[in-house]
Amino acid sequence: MLKDCKDAVLRTVRQEDRTLLETFYRDLSEDQRWYMEHDFLNPEVMDRWFRKVGREELTSVIALCDQRIAGHAILNVAEFGSTRHVGRFRIIVHPDFRKQRLGTWILLDLIQLAVDMELEILRTDVVVGIENTAIDAVAGFDFFKYAVIENYVKDPDGNFHDLAVMIKRLHKNWSDF
């Protein structure tokens, strides 16, 4: 239940969601997309990405509200190697659904999913000064700034921004304490 009393359903992405997902990203302005890792407006990127959906290393969750995608989250896990215990995620909420707790619900879902996958660490990379709301939101769930890489991200105008690496250590089970 969102703040405006609308219901949103969280579920994993299915192959038939491609058109909805394309519409979701097309609705976002360049200012809301430039710092993302994937260009979901590029059909080749979308093809590669959908080939990975549902495989163990990539989990994708959407929030549906009134037959449209209100939010999208991606949880990546290394297929092999020394970071197999770490999940990296990104959450984007459509501007029409921001400040309604949707991002919070998606984050809670991802944390539970990561616990179920027996991950030990959750990580998200956020642009300081651009995604301060996201920094504050994940900090409320015991994520902390593990590192800040100065002047690492370059915006479309050529300006550099710091990148904050936020992590949360996970425990095998949730509890009240």
* CB distance 95 to 32 below 8 Å: yes
Statement: residue 141 has pLDDT above 90: yes
What integer pLDDT is reported at residue 22 of this predicted model?
Answer: 93
What integer pLDDT is reported at residue 3 of this predicted model?
Answer: 64
What integer pLDDT is reported at residue 119 of this predicted model?
Answer: 93
Cα angle 168, 171, 60; round to 5 = 60
At 138 the three-state DSSP class reads helix
- Residue 146: band (very low, low, confident or very high) from pLDDT cuts 50, 70, 90: very high
Helix (H) or strand (E) holding 21: helix 18-26
Distance CA 155, CA 15 (A): 32
- Altogether, the residues listed in the chain come to a count of 177
* CB distance 121 to 87 below 8 Å: yes
Distance CA 150, CA 129 (A): 12
At a CB cut-off of 8 Å and minimum separation 6, what does 55 contact? none
C-beta atoms surrounding 159 within 10 Å: 10
pTM: 0.88
Residue type, 31: D
Distance CA 148, CA 143 (A): 14
